[in-house]
């Protein structure tokens, strides 16, 4: 019997390890296509928050075992107390999970093999980069059960593919295969199944060797760009660069340029 994580989730159901500055998070419930029950959702939130505050973690990768990424919410699990409103359940549950990914100050990569449906699709799309296998599918399943998309679905899709395509996927319960997802801009690249781990490792270790705080500031600028006017965005950019220039990595970047050598970033 695997030991439980602090959230009460058996450690073999969400596998977590840190290697070479990369936090690897693997959903491991292949019998239910890695569906997420409330306890798994809370454990994921813990792991993203830990990654954000750990100086030794410089990139995060989330994947799923067993030929699926995540089939969505595990509806067999409890969704909240009887005294909670539906809105409160969503705020404390799906929205907290997606926010923990978007707000994580470290770059987050999703490795999607097989099905990413419902909140599983939104979990992948909330990541900064998405690598999909040729058999990956993104399913906007909510309308098929007369549900409004939650977990930031509308927020994410509008920003990734625009309102018209977002409406098409949400209204018709779209089932988007990997290559179409790539052409639409939902994923960064499509790779053979056997190449997924090696591509994820290459991307993650490259990011982990980069200037972590610089990437964090850039992530914050990009994530906020849709929500502000140009003057506000330009001011945020100027302040971010000012903050960035106080980091050791920015100083190393300038020195390495002057000295005509490759930089050695420490993530500080």
Question: How high is the pLDDT of residue 28?
Answer: 96
Residue 1's pLDDT is 39
pLDDT, position 225: 93
Q: Which residues contact 2 (CB under 8 A, 6 or more apart)?
A: 10, 11, 12, 13
Predicted confidence at residue 80, as pLDDT, reads 56
Residue 7 has pLDDT above 70, yes or no: no
Q: Which residues does residue 133 pair with via DSSP β-bridges, in sequence order?
A: 191
Q: What does DSSP assign to residue 103?
A: T
Q: Report the alpha-carbon angle 48-51-53, nearest 5.
A: 115
Q: Where in the chain is the domain with CATH 1.10.12?
A: 212-258
Q: Report the candidate in 146, 132, 145 with the shortest Cα–Cα distance to residue 176.
A: 132
> Under DSSP, is residue 30 helix (H, G, I), strand (E, B) or coil?
helix
For 127-186, write each residue's pLDDT tens digit: 999 999 999 999 999 999 999 999 999 999 999 999 999 999 999 999 999 999 999 999
Quick one: pLDDT at residue 42?
A: 95
User: Can you tell me the distance from the alpha carbon of 62 to that of 100, in angstroms, rounded to the nearest whole number?
Assistant: 13
Q: Angle at which helices 212-224 and 248-258 pack, to 10 degrees?
A: 110
Mean pLDDT in residue range 108-117: 98
Order the strands of the 108-112 sheet from edge to edge: 14-19, 22-27, 59-64, 108-112, 129-133, 189-191
Residue range 212-246, pLDDT digits in tens:
999 999 999 999 999 999 999 999 999 999 999 99
| Residue 9 in this model has a pLDDT that exceeds 50 | yes
Closest residue by Cα to residue 151 from 122, 115, 110, 181: 122
Q: What is the pLDDT of residue 84?
A: 87
Sign of CA dihedral 50, 76, 169, 69: positive
pTM, two decimal places: 0.92
Q: 4 in helix, strand or coil? A: strand
Determine how β-strand 14-19 pairs with β-strand 59-64. unpaired
- pLDDT band at residue 10 using 50, 70 and 90 as cut-offs: confident
Token duo for residue 198: 């090696």
In the chain, list all ranges with CATH 3.90.226.10.
14-208
Region at 73 (left for phi over 0; alpha for psi -120 to 50; beta for the rest): beta
What is residue 83's predicted lDDT score, i.e. its pLDDT? Answer: 80
**pLDDT tens, residue by residue, 44-91:** 999 999 999 999 999 999 999 999 999 999 877 555 566 889 999 999
Pair of tokens at residue 161: 């593919």
pLDDT at 76: 74
Q: How far is the first Cα of the chain from the last one, in angstroms, to the nearest whole number? A: 39
CATH 3.30.830.10 fits 14-208, yes or no: no
Q: What per-residue confidence (pLDDT) applies to 77?
A: 54
Q: What are phi and psi of 196, to 5 degrees?
A: -60, -50
Residues 6+ apart with CB under 8 A from 76: 37
Q: Is 146 helix (H, G, I), strand (E, B) or coil?
A: coil
Question: Are the C-beta atoms of 69 and 116 separated by less than 8 Å?
Answer: yes
Task: Decide if pLDDT at 2 tops 80.
Answer: no
Q: What integer pLDDT is reported at residue 177 of this predicted model?
A: 97
For domain 212-258, give its CATH number from 1.10.10, 1.10.12, 2.30.30, 3.40.1350: 1.10.12
């Amino acid at each position: 019997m695997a030991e439980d994580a602090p959230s009460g989730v058996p450690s073999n159901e969400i596998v977590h390890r840190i290697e070479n500055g990369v936090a690897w998070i693997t959903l491991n419930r292949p019998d239910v296509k890695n569906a997420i029950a409330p306890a798994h959702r809370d454990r994921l939130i813990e792991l993203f928050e830990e990654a954000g505050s750990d100086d030794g973690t410089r990139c995060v990768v989330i994947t799923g075992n067993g030929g699926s990424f995540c089939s969505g919410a595990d509806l067999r699990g409890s969704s909240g107390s009887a005294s909670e409103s539906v809105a409160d359940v969503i705020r404390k549950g799906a929205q907290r999970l997606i926010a923990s990914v978007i707000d994580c100050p470290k770059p987050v990569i999703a490795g999607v093999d097989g099905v990413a449906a419902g909140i599983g699709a939104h979990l992948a799309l909330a990541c900064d980069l998405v690598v999909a296998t040729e058999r990956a599918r993104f399913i906007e399943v909510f309308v098929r059960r007369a549900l409004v998309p939650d977990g930031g679905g509308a927020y994410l899709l509008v920003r990734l593919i625009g309102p018209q395509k977002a409406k098409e996927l949400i209204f018709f319960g779209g089932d988007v295969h990997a290559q179409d997802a790539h052409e639409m801009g939902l994923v960064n690249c499509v790779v053979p199944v056997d190449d997924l781990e090696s591509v994820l490792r290459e991307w993650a270790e490259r990011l982990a060797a980069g200037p972590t705080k610089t990437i964090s500031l850039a992530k914050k600028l990009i994530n906020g760009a849709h929500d502000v006017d140009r003057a506000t965005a330009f001011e945020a950019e100027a302040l971010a660069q000012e903050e960035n220039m106080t980091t050791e990595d920015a100083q190393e970047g300038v020195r390495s340029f002057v000295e005509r050598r490759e930089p050695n970033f420490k993530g500080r």
